[in-house]
Amino acid sequence: MAAMQLNWDIFCRVIDNYGDIGVCWRLARQLANEHGKQVRLWVDDLRSLQPLCPEIDATCLEQTSHGVEICHWSETVAVERVGEVIIEAFACELPAAYLAAMASMTPKPCWINLEYLTAEAWAEGCHGMASPHPSLPLVKYFYFPGFSPATGGLLRERNLFASRDAEIAQCLRDDTLEISLFCYDSAPVGELLDILGESPTAVRLHVAPGQPLAAVAAHFGGNGPWQRGALSVLPFEFLPQEEFDRLLWRCDINFVRGEDSFVRAQWAAQAFVWQAYWQADEAHLDKLDAFLQRYIAGLSATGANAAVDLFQAWNSGCGLRQAWKNFLAARPEIATHNRRWAEGLAGNHDLAEALVKFCAGKV
């Protein structure tokens, strides 16, 4: 039945940053290139996609790249055809005209609300839940990415680990500690820079554009690159997703944020530190704690404490200096653990493949 669902439409509304479009762009390409789907990606802000896919023209309303049809989503968009599977990414709310066209179809399309990633246990109970539309003959299914077999899994391309290991094997390494920095503006970047500047050994910090680079520039002044003692700080331009993956593979420690880079840092099998997206009432700290409870299983008490303390310090801005010292001391164990962690996660569903099977079962 999966072959019947050839045409897929993914709707993405860009709220801020690049997390939503990053996830949707990876999913669209994987559905097209690994599963033979004809994917149409609707994006309300094409400029947000261009840094991830430099080949596209942000002024062009319809174009194709990497096997995906990319369309500008506006309030006045005309509905010429409706997909057999519709993915409403992160509750972005479909256009009324498109919903009406869905309701007129026979058979009805499979309608998915792709939710945000969380390790919280409640997501397992909500995964796959059906929600009938209050006035139209349509049913929406809630699809939760996650870290257990009871969820929809994580995006993972078929050749990802082989590509990663081949890249790492070719890296010429010295004793320099390579770190990547991708964070929100609330991260204690200035304190981290001061700590790294006091390092007795060489450190090379690769700083992402946008909020991370702005924080570094505010602390040091100027546009970089910067040198402070043994610390070299190197800004980099926006990278296509494959190039960003390679940067994560080459670094010893990756500071990441949100959802897309968070998952990619785990696949990199290197030490990483995650900053959760801030939410009201500090709900993001619940997501952080839920992830850490899963993640530290298998670490020694020392390693677990070092990981938890640094994640919490990076998200709260408190206790970073001691947490960093302890994390560095435990890094060999944490790095070994992260490779096991990635292999364990790969034993669960790949999100794109699981999504194809889930939708096929709804025909």
Residues marked active site are found at 20, 259
Question: Of 52, 51, 69, which is closest to residue 60 (Cα–Cα)?
Answer: 69
> Given strand 226-228, what is the order of strands in its sheet?
226-228, 231-235, 203-207, 177-181, 253-257, 271-275
Residue 71 identity (one-letter amino acid): C
